[in-house]
Amino acid sequence: MNSILEFLQQRNSAARLAAPAPDDTELAEILRAALRAPDHAWLRPWRFIRLRGEAREAFGEVLEQSLLQREPGADQAARAKARRAPLRAPLLLVVVASLKTHPKVPAVEQRLSAGCAAHGVLMAAEAQGYAGIWRTGAPAFDPVVHRALGLAADEEIVAFLYLGTREGDAKPLPDLAVADFLSDWPAP
């Protein structure tokens, strides 16, 4: 089989990620791939925020504050979990949808474009031999987090991409039948 096709068919997230992560040169190559996401009217409705090293610890504090805002009674274990969340990978890339006003391109299309860019990051990272996982959760939608990351009013978080080197074996790929997801129109 064509090796690119096989590669596309085998993308697999990794929840457990260790160093090394893509360095800045590799990350630039990854982003060049992400920037090829389909993009109606070429609005480029995305941007990426890189967090490495100690920035992840500072961001963990933001996540703890975000948790406390939502759940003022959160216990120490929950707070520590939130604080440590960004340490689950050596590199975090926040994918931001930067929504523009355009007569023919509604916000949903721009969000989809930014989502395609996020997928492009994961694919390109895997192509370089790294691994990653797309996460969101309540913090992605929390104004506390948006403010801390410097998002503008017309920006949204599409993904927290955790990137690094897969720890342990890859999880098995799900056995999905194409026929379950495909139909003909009109129905035969």
Under the criterion CB under 6 A, does residue 134 sit at the interface with ligand FMN?
A: yes
Q: Which is nearer to ligand FMN, 80 or 136 (CB)?
A: 136
Please give the backbone phi and psi of residue 23, each rounded to the nearest 5 degrees, phi first.
-80, 180
Whole-number minimum distance, CB 173 to ligand FMN, in Å?
Answer: 7
User: How far apart are the C-alpha atoms of 98 and 156, rounded to whole Å?
Assistant: 7
User: How far apart are the C-alpha atoms of 15 and 162, rounded to whole Å?
Assistant: 8
Would you give the binding string for ligand FMN spanning residues 36-55, x where CB under 6 A is met?
A: --------------------
Under the criterion CB under 6 A, does residue 82 sit at the interface with ligand FMN?
A: no
Which of 3, 21, 25 lies closest to 166, judged by CA? 21
Whole-number minimum distance, CB 134 to ligand FMN, in Å?
Answer: 4
User: How far apart are the C-alpha atoms of 125 and 119, rounded to whole Å?
Assistant: 10
Total binding residues toward ligand FMN, as defined by CB under 6 A: 7
* Span of 70-78, 95-103, 123-131, 132-140 interacting with ligand FMN by CB under 6 A: 132-140
User: How far apart are the C-alpha atoms of 38 and 124, rounded to whole Å?
Assistant: 15
Task: Count how many residues are written for the chain.
Answer: 188
66 SS3 class: helix
- Measured CA to CA in angstroms, residue 135 lies from 73, 118, 138, 161 at distances of 24, 11, 10, 6
Whole-number minimum distance, CB 25 to ligand FMN, in Å?
Answer: 25
* Span of 30-38, 65-73, 96-104, 127-135 interacting with ligand FMN by CB under 6 A: 127-135
Please give the backbone phi and psi of residue 65, each rounded to the nearest 5 degrees, phi first.
-60, -40
Under the criterion CB under 6 A, does residue 128 sit at the interface with ligand FMN?
A: no
Whole-number minimum distance, CB 148 to ligand FMN, in Å?
Answer: 18
Using Cβ positions, the residue closest to ligand FMN within the complex turns out to be 13
* Span of 58-66, 104-112, 131-139, 179-187 interacting with ligand FMN by CB under 6 A: 131-139
Binding-site ranges for ligand FMN (CB under 6 A): 12-13, 133-137
